[in-house]
Copies of this chain bind each other. A is one copy, B any other.
């Protein structure tokens, strides 16, 4: 499992505008190979949001970044004036996973 998080810091008072932009956006994710889950996360800390996407593998994420679906998805909705600064992307590989049904320790 591979997770990509884009971290946003939103200007105070612009939170509703930021959220509306995301709600009106078409993600073009549903047919992308290896896509598992997307969430827009609102932090309990003021003004912080994370675009959080989960993938079967790093390769599936990398293929999406280079796809037409990615370009189309990122062409919509300007965040000009809404953010404190450029978003910060962080990417992660899961090395241990656990669900209520049991634990998986990943072999790498």
Contact = CB atoms under 8 A, between A and B. Distances in A.
Interface of A: 1, 3, 19, 22-23, 27, 29-31, 35-45, 48, 50, 52, 90-103, 105
Interface of chain A, main secondary structure: strand
How many identical subunits does the complex contain?
Answer: 2
B44 A99 contact: no
A40 B105 CA distance: 10
Given A3-B41, A52-B92, 20 more contacts: A3-B39, A30-B100, A36-B100, A38-B97, A38-B98, A39-B96, A39-B97, A39-B98, A40-B94, A40-B95, A41-B92, A41-B93, A42-B93, A42-B95, A43-B92, A44-B90, A44-B93, A45-B90, A48-B90, A52-B94
